[in-house]
Amino acid sequence: MKLIPSIFIFATVFTLACRGAPSESGDTTVPPEILAAIEHQALIVDVRTPEEFADGHYPGAINIPHETILEGLNQLSVTADTSVILYCRSGNRSGQAEQVLQEKGFTEARNAGGLKALLSAAGEQAVIPAPTSSH
């Protein structure tokens, strides 16, 4: 009879552990405060590569690769109290960028996670720029 409680405990722990785990694409649920910040004109920053950004990005987002996030925001004269929403493909690079910014006093920097989850949560579609002509 000890088997049934053990199975129940295992199932409960497994369910709770997987609850916040990212999907294969790395996307997780976007917190409501991120969506509220976007509605209140937060600066939306795609921290992926320029090539990834060109393949599709969140409407109104700017592109600053995560390796240069602090320099990029400084070049744009973004102040530390500005609400900055960061995203990438899975939430990993945007998490790294968030940590860098938080350490430098950007108290309103938030990691929105992956692009697909952000688009879905906000009811938006990716912006895909028209190809430029080489003529």
Q: Is this prediction's pTM over 0.85?
A: no
Nearest Cα to Cα of residue 73 among 106, 118, 48: 106
Catalytic residue among 44, 88, 109, 112: 88
> Where do the structural domains in the chain lie, given as residue ranges?
25-122
The tens digit of pLDDT for each residue in 104-121 reads 999 999 999 999 999 999
- Is residue 28 within 8 A of residue 20, CB to CB? The reply is yes
Nearest Cα to Cα of residue 111 among 36, 19, 31: 31
131: helix, coil or strand?
coil
Q: Is 18 a catalytic residue?
A: no
Mapping DSSP onto H, E and C, the string for the chain reads CCHHHHHHHHHHHHHHHHHCCCCCCCCCCCCHHHHHHHHCCCEEEECCCHHHHHCCECCCCEECCHHHHHHHHHHCCCCCCCCEEEEECCCHHHHHHHHHHHHCCCCCEEEEEEHHHHHHHHCCCCECCCCCCCC
The tens digit of pLDDT for each residue in 56-103 reads 999 999 999 999 999 999 999 999 999 999 999 999 999 999 999 999
d(CA 116, CA 132): 25
- Is residue 54 within 8 A of residue 127, CB to CB? The reply is no
Query: For residue 90, what is the DSSP state?
Result: S
CATH of domain 25-122: 3.40.250.10
pLDDT score at 17: 40
pLDDT score at 131: 77
Residue 22 above 50 pLDDT? Answer: no
